[in-house]
Amino acid sequence: MRALISREAGGPETLRLEQIPDPVAGPGQLAISIKACGVNFPDLLMIQDLYQVKAARPFSPGAEIAGFVSAVGEGVGDFVVGDRVIGRCGVGGMAEGIALDASKCTRIPGTMPFPDAAAFQFAYETSYYALVTRGRLKSDETVLVLGASGGVGVAATQVAKALGARVIAAVSSEEKLAFARIHGADDGLIYPASISQPPDSRELSRALKAAVGAAGADVIVDPVCGALAEPALRCIAERGRYLILGFTAGIAALPMNLPLLKSCDILGINWRTFTMSQPEENHSNRETLLQMYSRGKISPVITATFPLKRGGEAIARLKDRGAMGKIVVTN
Ligand SMILES: NC(=O)c1ccc[n+]([C@@H]2O[C@H](COP(=O)([O-])OP(=O)(O)OC[C@H]3O[C@@H](n4cnc5c(N)ncnc54)[C@H](OP(=O)(O)O)[C@@H]3O)[C@@H](O)[C@H]2O)c1
């Protein structure tokens, strides 16, 4: 089968399409014929050896896939050949097939297209875990989503809206704000693509406070961080929850007096470790999300698809800050 392979640390241009052996389902595993693979920011970090998790080379990027079960390993009773599944693989998704533990796979509704299925797990399960499991979101609350036009940003917006919250989108351009509004944001603002500390950060803080309203944001979803984090934290409500999801703009240092002044919680969200330590709870979140999908409450917004041989270009879109919604690589 064909796979996009990383043999050395570097950008998307270092990936090569190669012929590798077909996957074999070991005990407890499924062999899956991959039809689609969701692209996520960690793919970009993984190939550069910049992610907190390192993969042994050679490897294929791609952390979430959808496809058909092509073989069932010994001891697997829940799946049969031909089942349509999604799987959380970490790496290996940008290939024509994969062998994956059955415990990391879930059958998908017959009506769900493979690209939607492949774009579902990372963004929606992370968002639901952040907003609901950790963020204790209530239906009448205000949620500020930073980077709201990105993969996680759009999913968090849709999930928060579906749960009855008011969503304020913060993004870096007019085009991204229009996109965020189309996909569920009630209101929003544009932040500078690069922020210098002060005076811009004070200005941004004022703009964020004006956008979320006098009471502040009850929940802040932050997959961006960098120089946005402190101005955003300054607009949080009393007893608000600041959810740290990622660092596309870099890691920030925050003044420790702010959480005391605001009486707020700052929560680190690590969905990957949650899936390992509490798989049943994550499975239950997934079932809830799939029901929301079936009822039309949430739906992946796929703005581009690339064939496997151009998977590097798909990852490069995220590097250039040029992606909106989700990008999917298809076979
Ligand atoms: N904690 C977890 O469990 C978990 C799970 C999944 C993903 N994540 C993290 O969530 C973050 C977002 O992932 P994603 O797949 O949604 O990425 P994405 O689609 O590329 O969205 C990231 C957003 O970050 C903003 N951004 C600001 N500065 C940037 C820069 N220098 N380069 C690229 N983007 C920049 C962009 O919006 P603007 O242009 O509007 O600023 C962009 O839309 C990543 O850090 C990822 O590792 C965390």
- The answer on 231 and 128 residing in a single domain is yes
- Position 219 scores a pLDDT of 98
Pocket flag, ligand 1, residue 42 (CB < 6 Å): yes
Q: What is the band of 198 on the pLDDT scale with cuts at 50, 70, 90?
A: low
Same domain, yes or no: 104 and 17: yes
Distance 317 CA to ligand 1 centre (A): 12
Output DSSP code: residue 96. Answer: S
Does one domain contain both 153 and 183?
A: yes
Q: Which atom of ligand 1 is nearest to the CA of 51?
A: 47
The model's pLDDT over 257-307, given as tens digits with 9 standing for 90+, comes to 999 999 999 999 999 999 999 999 999 999 999 999 999 999 999 999 999
* CATH code for the domain in which residue 251 is found: 3.40.50.720
Give the residue, 54 or 194, on which the prediction is more confident: 54
- The alpha carbon of 23 and the centre of ligand 1 are apart by a number of angstroms equal to 31
pLDDT for res 13? 97
Query: In terms of domains, do 14 and 83 share one?
Result: yes
pLDDT at residue 213, rounded to an integer = 97
- Cβ–ligand 1 contact at 271 (below 6 Å): yes
Query: Is the same domain home to 266 and 129?
Result: yes
Strand order in the sheet with 217-222: 187-190, 166-171, 142-146, 217-222, 236-244, 265-268
Q: Is residue 292 situated within a structural domain?
A: no
Q: What is the pLDDT of residue 37?
A: 98
Alpha carbons 318 and 42: distance in angstroms, whole number: 10
Ligand 1 lined by 90 (C-beta under 6 Å): no
| Residue spans of beta strands (DSSP E) within 102-164 | 105-107, 142-146
Q: How far apart are CA 28 and CA 25, in angstroms?
A: 8
Q: CA-based Rg of the chain, rounded to a whole angstrom?
A: 20
From CA 208, how far away is CA 162, in angstroms rounded? 23
pLDDT of 197 strictly over 80:
no
134 CB near ligand 1 (under 6 Å): no
Q: How far apart, in Å, do the first and last CA atoms of the chain sit?
A: 11
Q: Over the chain, what is the mean pLDDT?
A: 96
Atom index in ligand 1 nearest the CA of residue 326 equals 19
Quick one: 109 and 135 in the same domain?
Answer: no
The CATH number assigned to the domain holding 321 equals 3.90.180.10
Which of these three, 225, 256, 272, is where a domain ends?
272
Q: Is 67 in the pocket of ligand 1 (CB under 6 A)?
A: no
6: which DSSP letter? Answer: B
Place of tokens 């879930």: 106
Say yes or no: CB of residue 115 within 6 Å of ligand 1.
no
Same domain, 139 and 219: yes
**b/e per residue, 257-287, with b = 16+ CB within 10 A?**
eebeebebbbeebbbeebbeeeeeebeebbe
Specify whether 220 is located in the same domain as 319: no
* Centre of ligand 1 from the C-alpha of residue 320, in Å: 11
C-alpha–C-alpha distance, residues 174 and 195, integer Å:
17
Instruction: Tell me if 224 CB under 6 Å of ligand 1.
Output: yes
- For 18-64, the DSSP string reads EE-PPP---TTEEEEEEEEEE--HHHHHHHTT-SSS--PSSB---SE
* pLDDT tier at 204, thresholds 50, 70, 90: very high
Tell whether ligand 1 has an atom less than 6 A from the beta carbon of residue 323: yes
* 5 CA from centroid of ligand 1 (Å): 23
Quick: pLDDT tens for 89-144: 999 999 999 999 999 999 999 899 999 999 999 999 999 999 999 999 999 999 99
Residue 287 lies in a domain: no
Look up residue 292 and give its two tokens: 């929301």
The domain of 199 spans 122-272
The verdict on the CB of residue 126 being under 6 Å from ligand 1 is yes
Is pLDDT above 80 for 199?
A: no
The DSSP code sequence of 170-212 is EESSHHHHHHHHHTT-SEEEE--SS-PTTTHHHHHHHHHHHHH
Residues 240 and 115 in one domain: no
6 strand-pairing partners: 59
